[in-house]
A = this chain, B = another copy of it.
């Protein structure tokens, strides 16, 4: 009976969420008001029933100055699960306020991967102090993980997994799982290993449950496994999980021994981040995290803007070549931004498609040539359509057919430049192992600005417009 009651309260927090699973503003305000009224107990009572993921959201949404008081009010509600769900920057701020022994307690509660995520960003001195305060076992696991490169499978994996010898039967596995209280409960597959601890097969739990006790696991398991090398980059790990629809995967070291396991719930965040960060990188917004310290954000964005200033000056200097013509016939200055701007738009389209196709492994050496042909066809078609449209309009409005022809030709040329640059630039950068999302946009817009101005003003000079 009391369990049912518990159930009722446990479900209530859902009413604090709007239809998009976001905390309602009035709820956030109510919590802050409790803190303002110096009533930490009241704030705690409001927050306690929430899911850890929602408590983490509350910290992100709350104004920065209220985060420390909120943490103080929540004390024991603020457990390791909440920290694991929290935005990196917000977490770092909070962790900075804690004693090393408190951080050590938090980290000990977590799977290796989550503990590493909390500890990896600390200052080396504090990191050492936290590690010293941990149990030797936990410490060893985390120190080993920290030995792998950042953003590698070694940092992502958890060491807590179920591995059984290949000669066991299904019954042995079940007895082993029932008999050992200190095993992890967070697993979806078990790994079958040989005497040298090399994985030889993977077994979904549903297969174990559906098979009689006397059958050897070797007959149930799937031998065709997707293994993850411990030094693999997390983006590759994410693509592999996605491609083969994995729920969990064994991680192996250089000698092929099973050293850890990665589960899909840790990968989902990475897939989302990696897919979403292309847009931020293309626009030069860094990692685009709204919780990033503002000085860092300003520096990141300014760097990108200064690079773009260079290319803008380059484009302007092309216009400078035709200063005399513009002085004679100022209408050229009115129309030239249309040509460069439209080229920029078309180039960005091609670029966005190419960057995504490269990131999702859809654009490979085998179909690069086809992609070229495709983009040039699109560029020709759209360049012609836009050229005819604007050329006719301009020719008619200013009753000057040669001006119409000039802008039409310039539009076609610049669309071809845009299509070509939009595909050549990202593919070249990718071949050079440079992330095309980071640096492509500068090259492409430089090309479309420079060629937009040059083709239009150049043709105008050749045709001696306004003369």
Where the two chains meet, the residues of A that have a C-beta atom closer than 8 Å to any C-beta of B are 3, 6-7, 10-11, 20-23, 25, 28-29, 51, 53, 57, 60-61, 63, 87, 173-174, 177-178, 183, 185-188, 204-212, 223-224, 236, 239-247, 264-265, 267-269, 271-273, 275-276, 278-280, 282-285, 288, 290, 294, 297-298, 301-302, 304-306, 308-309, 312-313, 315-317, 319-320, 323-324, 326-327, 330-338, 340-342, 345-346, 348-353, 355-357, 359-367, 370-371, 374, 377-378, 381-382, 385-386, 389-390, 445, 449, 453
What are the 6 A-B residue pairs with the smallest beta carbon separation, nearest first?
A333-B333, A275-B275, A205-B205, A279-B279, A283-B352, A245-B265
- State whether B331 touches A330 (Cβ < 8 A): no
A378 neighbours in B (Cβ, 8 Å):
294, 297-298, 301
- State the CA gap A58–B345 with chains docked (Å): 32
Partner pick for A283 among B22, B183, B348, B371, CB 8 A cutoff: B348
Q: How far is the CB of A232 from chain B (nearest CB, A)?
A: 9
Q: Knowing A239-B20, A352-B283, say if A334 contacts B345 (CB, 8 Å).
A: no
A326 neighbours in B (Cβ, 8 Å):
326, 330, 333-334
- State whether B342 touches A308 (Cβ < 8 A): yes
Chain A interface, DSSP helix/strand/loop, else mixed: helix
- State the CA gap A366–B26 with chains docked (Å): 8
Partner pick for A359 among B10, B186, B276, B332, CB 8 A cutoff: B276
**Given A57-B361, A60-B362, A268-B271, 16 more pairs with CB closer than 8 A:** A25-B364, A53-B244, A61-B366, A177-B210, A178-B210, A183-B210, A185-B207, A264-B264, A297-B378, A305-B386, A308-B342, A316-B334, A317-B334, A337-B337, A337-B340, A341-B449
Copies in the complex: 2
Q: Knowing A264-B247, A333-B333, A338-B312, say if A7 contacts B223 (CB, 8 Å).
A: yes
- State whether A22 touches B309 (Cβ < 8 A): no
Q: Which of A11, A23, A275, A390 has the most CB of B within 10 A?
A: A275
Q: Which residue of B lies closest to A352 (CB)?
A: B283
- State whether A337 touches B316 (Cβ < 8 A): yes
A290 neighbours in B (Cβ, 8 Å):
353, 357, 362-363, 367, 371, 374
A-B contact pairs, 26 of them (CB 8 A): A10-B223, A20-B239, A20-B361, A22-B364, A25-B366, A29-B366, A53-B243, A61-B367, A173-B209, A242-B268, A245-B265, A268-B268, A271-B275, A273-B275, A276-B356, A282-B352, A284-B345, A288-B356, A290-B362, A297-B378, A302-B381, A302-B382, A309-B342, A315-B337, A333-B336, A337-B449
Partner pick for A331 among B178, B297, B323, B331, CB 8 A cutoff: B323
A351 neighbours in B (Cβ, 8 Å):
283
